[in-house]
Amino acid sequence: MNKETEIKLRISRETLAALREHPLLKKRNKSGWQQRELLNQYFDTPERDLSAARVALRLRRDGDVVIQTLKTRGNSVAGLSERNEFQWELPKAKLDLKKLDDTCWPESLAGLDKKTIKPLFTTDFVREFADIAWGRGKSKVVIEAALDLGTVSAGKQKEEICELELELREGEPEALLELAAELAASLPLFPCDISKAERGYRLLDPSSYQVNLPAPELDPEMSLDDAFSALAWHLLASSQRLAEQYQHTGHWRLLQDWVQCLGELRALASSLGQAAPRATTRELRSRLDALLEDWRTLVLAGNDDEDVRRAAPEQFADELLDTRWGQFSLDTSRWLIARGWTAERNKRGERQGAAALANWLAVELGDEAKALQLPLYQQQPEDLAEQLPRIERLLAWLHYARDVLLKAPELDRLYGELSKLQQLANQPISDEILDARVQQAFAVAQSRGWKHLVRK
């Protein structure tokens, strides 16, 4: 068994050509570019039992060699994935079910009749690959860079494969992100948290690609640092999956959810007080502000304008042809791995970062609720948009951590009422909207959950 640590980066054909001659890869290329054709047949039951267990089973023909591979459940965060991989060289291109024994076969599939496993789809591509090696501090890094160009085929359905795959051979996983980020500084490439196998399943069933990742479970006693880290990784990974699926389908709701993920990450990053000195989050906030300025504005316009919605997929494709999204995704991953918000903070910041989440959250939400001054905006509803950053900070924590505030009443209802107030604050001013803002501010202020927060 091998552990496979890799990152997949979606690219265009133009970027693929540019990568062959990229100065950074040229300098570190120790083997020269080599080429081989890989023909892959994937297998599953008619009910997709292997996919449900997050298992991929394939036969690969690499020249005259046939390899059977089983990839089992692993971890994937923001494009960087780790999975266990079992391989067997076979004498012919026929699946050997006897290899799938208890040493590799998941316990969750123990009762499966393996004879029901049949071919489902193919992923055939040409791979250009090279060993990229360099010194990183006192250690050595070796990464296989692979440029894959080909096709996923499921019946009459087809999708192009065009990606850069970086697989760690030696060194620390952070080196994968470092190399990817350096390349993304000048070329449009970004983490693609979907495997070739998932693409095949998506061709068979568009709904099979899981966009909604399970939210992290937050514990009242966990530290603020750990809670923020878990939520930030979740939002970054979710935003990447939403970007992938919106590019594929163009469904408007996916773009709305993508913008919401970015907005929640922005809100959380600005809510940490001295636990995250402003200098440590400045670059993250700046990049998020630039993305949100363009895309939140478009989404708000598109919610009421079908022409905007129809034009959005092409505009999003243009976004992905720029370097901005890839740089943001990869640099944010590196920042989260390094816990960049903890750099150079003072002792009070260290205490806040180590504080139990429930204790910190009760104080933070109480302070934000009091500072919102809802009675004022019942009198001056035209100024409510000024409070959107504060409303968004409240909503972000209520979205993911309201179960942590065990003694607070009706927080689900408060979240819903506050969301309605946010929507009204984003709408252009009219007499009708101003009246609705007054009524909604009153509804929030009178809710039991709000009263509990402001008493803290």
Q: Are residues 333 and 368 in the same domain?
A: no
Q: Which of 282, 309, 342 is the last residue of a domain?
A: 342
Q: What tens-digit pLDDT sequence spans the chain (456 residues)? A: 567 788 999 999 999 999 999 999 999 999 999 999 999 999 999 999 999 998 999 999 999 999 999 988 666 555 566 678 899 999 999 999 999 998 899 889 999 999 999 999 999 999 999 999 999 988 999 999 999 999 999 989 999 999 999 999 999 988 999 999 999 999 999 898 788 999 999 999 988 888 888 999 999 999 999 999 999 999 999 999 999 999 999 999 999 999 999 999 999 999 999 999 999 999 999 999 999 999 999 999 999 999 999 999 999 999 999 999 999 999 999 999 999 999 989 999 999 999 999 999 999 999 999 999 999 998 999 999 999 999 999 999 999 999 998 788 999 999 999 999 999 999 999 999 999 999 999 999 999 999 999 986
Q: Are residues 405 and 436 in the same domain?
A: yes
Residue 348 placed within a domain = no
Q: Are residues 124 and 222 in the same domain?
A: no
The CA-atom distances, in angstroms, between 81 and each of 193, 240, 356 are: 8, 13, 30
201 class by beta-carbon count within 10 Å (0-12 exposed, 13-18 middle, 19+ buried): buried
CB 345 within 8 A of CB 277: yes
* 3-state DSSP assignment of residue 11: coil
Q: Which of 287, 317, 342 is the last residue of a domain?
A: 342
State which amino acid sits at residue 316: F
Q: Where are the beta strands (DSSP E) in 63-101?
A: 65-71, 75-77, 80-90
Residue 362 tokens read as 């009760």
CB 402 within 8 A of CB 411: yes
205 class by beta-carbon count within 10 Å (0-12 exposed, 13-18 middle, 19+ buried): exposed
Nearest of 369, 377, 373, 394 to residue 455 by alpha carbon: 369
Q: Are residues 244 and 326 in the same domain?
A: yes
Residue 291 tokens read as 């993305």
Q: Are residues 224 and 326 in the same domain?
A: yes
At 79 the pLDDT is 54
Q: How far apart are alpha carbons 296 and 261 in whole angstroms?
A: 11
Q: How far apart are alpha carbons 349 and 341 in whole angstroms?
A: 10
At 194 the pLDDT is 86
**Which domain does 307 fall in, by range?**
210-342
Q: Helices (H), strands (E): how many in the chain? A: 17, 10
Task: Identify the helix (H) or strand (E) that includes residue 97.
Answer: none
Q: Are residues 37 and 167 in the same domain?
A: yes
Say which CATH number the domain at 54 has: 2.40.320.10
Q: Pairing between strand 65-71 and 118-136?
A: unpaired
CB 383 within 8 A of CB 401: no
Q: Are residues 114 and 103 in the same domain?
A: yes
Residue 347 placed within a domain = no
Residue 112 placed within a domain = yes
At 72 the pLDDT is 81
Q: Are residues 133 and 156 in the same domain?
A: yes
Write phi, then psi, for 330 (nearest 5 degrees): -75, -40
CB 190 within 8 A of CB 323: no
State which amino acid sits at residue 198: E
State which amino acid sits at residue 149: L
Q: How far apart are alpha carbons 356 and 349 in whole angstroms?
A: 13
Q: Are residues 25 and 87 in the same domain?
A: yes
The torsion region of residue 48 among left (phi > 0), alpha (psi -120 to 50) and beta comes to left
Residue 13 placed within a domain = yes
Give the list of residues 6+ apart from residue 223 with CB closer than 8 angstroms, or none. 353, 354, 355, 356, 357
Q: Are residues 139 and 287 in the same domain?
A: no
Looking at the structure of the chain, the number of domains it has is 3
At 445 the pLDDT is 95
Nearest of 120, 105, 40 to residue 70 by alpha carbon: 105
* 3-state DSSP assignment of residue 158: strand
Q: How far apart are alpha carbons 435 and 432 in whole angstroms?
A: 5
Q: Are residues 413 and 328 in the same domain?
A: no
Q: How far apart are alpha carbons 374 and 315 in whole angstroms?
A: 38
Inter-axis angle of helices 252-269 and 306-320, to 10 degrees? Answer: 60
Q: pTM for the full model?
A: 0.92
Residue 232 tokens read as 């930030």
At 160 the pLDDT is 96
Please give the DSSP secondary-structure letter assigned to residue 171.
S
Nearest of 391, 371, 180, 182 to residue 267 by alpha carbon: 391
Q: How far apart are alpha carbons 324 and 77 in whole angstroms?
A: 20
